[in-house]
Chains A and B, each alone.
Chain A
């Protein structure tokens, strides 16, 4: 126990870490599960197999995964532009990426709704092509893309900056064309960071509430997301029901994130 360490303060910092994590994460989560445990088995089964909850779960996880996937593609593109090119307004663009972090989600939701609704600027134009971008799955998806995208850019950016030009030049002198340089050298090195970005965007999207509920329209069985159902339960003072849905959501999210993490470990070539 009395092993000497080079860096002092281990006991103090670990103690603080555990206390902090307990107060901020473990105790609230424990309380959630305790509350959910107060509901009987029947209530659990009844709630979680109800068509309305299942539809919401399908929408939440499906749209979140799709939005995170799209964020990865466009995040990669935006990061590439920010890291690789020097142009006027680059810093401004860089700062804009963070806006979805800073904006109150309700403001984002209302704005998105105003723009993409059939009478909004973009929605009007999309409607001419027969595309409806609000009050349906697409609307939810758009909102989730908006909030997830900065996570991808911010995880990818430092990795891409670190990559350096040399390996690309090496590939070029060996005769690789631009596509081969990208697909065989650059992209594989970015994959671990892309997965991390996906995971963060996905996790954030699952829990997102404010920016979605305006543009989704909240039609039961169609455009309700799980967080909305939790709020609906709370509004009817059914605290245990809310806790049950939240707990189930947490478990599924945790399993998914854990699986992605495992996948990433296997892909992380830099892991020594």
Chain B
């Protein structure tokens, strides 16, 4: 089910949290709302969920063409996953997952066995078979997050909304869960909108990245498109490492991996510049050089270990850089 966000504004007192946001989330896509803290991304997600309401005006939220702006969260049919899981700690895993079904009015509520089957099915889906009797505090962070996901999915939501879903997890679990979520999303095909401040996460996971800044949408596009053709210096700097070079009054942006390193003797003054190696970080598959250009500006350069070995570089060596 597609989500259409139309001219949404939101102010808290005098603070503008969202300033005329319009956005299309295509059916079945995995879309990332990416931005620094305070950019309004979480507020937007909460308005889509119905946990917050936009300011009065022409602003609208449509699910598959249907206006849901006035419908409260509980009737909107959204699955919402909170950053800190928000599991009910007095309930078992099974009770947590079953919650959305057990609060249905008597007429619509599945029978006990129906609820049980659905819980077991969801536990299988999120790969937590056998943990139904545990309590949340007996689970790891990654497991809790998947319980939260299963709980959100139990009500068969029309769209899935995730608020910084991996924010509270440590690096390795984060990476694993991220890959898993991508595969998982492709299996269930549910339109998903998630908030993150981690550009790597957004670029790796999403079909569509929405870069937000200061209550506005800065750029929307496929991960590669926003990475390769940033529309503003902000997007350039926010998406991955970038060197900012001052050339007169202008600034020029160059990504560290786009820079070629040559021997100083090969320097072609038309395209290349001379530089001196200041630092060398070579732990890991990619080596990073910090070099000082002839005009005193610093530049980060990434190159493969193989290239580094071929060049046999050391600190204080003179080199040429081409970009």
A272 interface residue (CB < 8 Å to B): yes
Residues of B within 8 A of A170 (CB): 80, 82, 86-88, 148, 151
B255 interface residue (CB < 8 Å to A): no
Cβ contact within 8 Å between A175 and B104: yes
User: Which B residue sits closest to A270, measured CB to CB?
Assistant: B89
In whole Å, how far is B129's beta carbon from the nearest beta carbon of chain A?
22
In whole Å, how far is B51's beta carbon from the nearest beta carbon of chain A?
5
Residues of A within 8 A of B137 (CB): 270, 272
Q: Which of B51, B79, B135, B152 has most A Cβ within 10 Å?
A: B51
In whole Å, how far is A194's beta carbon from the nearest beta carbon of chain B?
13
B235 interface residue (CB < 8 Å to A): no
* Cα separation A185 to B99 with both chains bound (whole Å): 10
Cβ contact within 8 Å between B99 and A176: yes
Cβ contact within 8 Å between A269 and B135: yes
Cβ contact within 8 Å between B74 and A172: yes
Residues of B within 8 A of A177 (CB): 74, 103
Residues of A within 8 A of B154 (CB): 174
**Interface digits, B37-75 against A, CB 8 Å rule (1 contact, 0 not)?**
000000000000111000000000000000000001111
Cβ contact within 8 Å between A176 and B103: yes
Q: How large, as a class, is the contact surface on chain A?
A: 20 to 34
* Cα separation A188 to B51 with both chains bound (whole Å): 23
Q: Which of A167, A180, A272 has most B Cβ within 10 Å?
A: A167
**Interface digits, A156-190 against B, CB 8 Å rule (1 contact, 0 not)?**
00000000101101111111110010001100110
Residues of A within 8 A of B152 (CB): 173-174
B90 interface residue (CB < 8 Å to A): yes
Cβ contact within 8 Å between B51 and A169: yes
How many inter-chain residue pairs (CB < 8 Å) link A and B? 69
B116 interface residue (CB < 8 Å to A): no
* Cα separation A269 to B110 with both chains bound (whole Å): 28
Query: Out of A164, A172, A188, which one reaches B90, CB within 8 Å?
Result: A188
* Cα separation A164 to B103 with both chains bound (whole Å): 21
User: Which B residue sits closest to A170, measured CB to CB?
Assistant: B86
**Interface digits, B171-188 against A, CB 8 Å rule (1 contact, 0 not)?**
000000000000000000
Residues of B within 8 A of A172 (CB): 51, 72-74
Cβ contact within 8 Å between A173 and B104: no
B262 interface residue (CB < 8 Å to A): no
B257 interface residue (CB < 8 Å to A): no
Cβ contact within 8 Å between A169 and B82: yes
* Cα separation A170 to B49 with both chains bound (whole Å): 11
Query: Out of A164, A166, A169, A272, which one reaches B73, CB within 8 Å?
Result: A169
Cβ contact within 8 Å between B89 and A189: yes
Interface residues of B in 271-286 (CB under 8 A from A): none
* Cα separation A184 to B104 with both chains bound (whole Å): 13
Interface residues of B in 85-131 (CB under 8 A from A): 86-90, 99-100, 103-104
Cβ contact within 8 Å between A166 and B84: yes
What 10 pairs between A and B have smallest CB-CB spacing? A174-B100, A166-B86, A170-B86, A173-B80, A269-B90, A176-B103, A175-B74, A188-B90, A173-B73, A180-B103
Q: Which residues of B contact A (CB under 8 A)?
A: 49-51, 72-76, 78-80, 82, 84, 86-90, 99-100, 103-104, 135, 137, 148, 151-152, 154-155
- Jot down 6 A-B pairs with beta carbons below 8 A, ordered by A: A167-B87, A167-B88, A172-B73, A173-B50, A173-B76, A174-B154
Q: Which residues of A contact B (CB under 8 A)?
A: 164, 166-167, 169-177, 180, 184-185, 188-189, 269-270, 272
